[in-house]
Amino acid sequence: MTARKSIEEQFEQRLNQMSKTIERKQIDLDTMSQKMVLPVDSDILRMRIQKDLEAKFRYELETRMQE
């Protein structure tokens, strides 16, 4: 029971870290989009970054869930 609670706490901490990372990236994207001329470019960039972040975190979560 203690081990499960410890794993859950680690999982929550990791989710919080991911959330903060995503928030920082969103702020960066908003800043870049204001500087860019074409809005289409910012949408493409946002989708690529989002896809990369999701893939990385999804892999981590899947490996942790398998543990």
Tokens 């609670």 locate to 5
Tokens 């995503």 locate to 22
Question: pLDDT tens digit string along 32-43?
Answer: 877 776 666 777
Exposed, middle or buried by CB within 10 Å (0-12, 13-18, 19+), for 32?
A: middle
Q: Is 1 helix (H, G, I), strand (E, B) or coil?
A: coil
pTM of structure: 0.48
Question: pLDDT tens digit string along 15-55?
Answer: 999 999 999 999 998 888 777 766 667 778 888 888 888 88
Q: How far is CA 43 from the centre of its chain?
A: 17
pLDDT for 37: 62
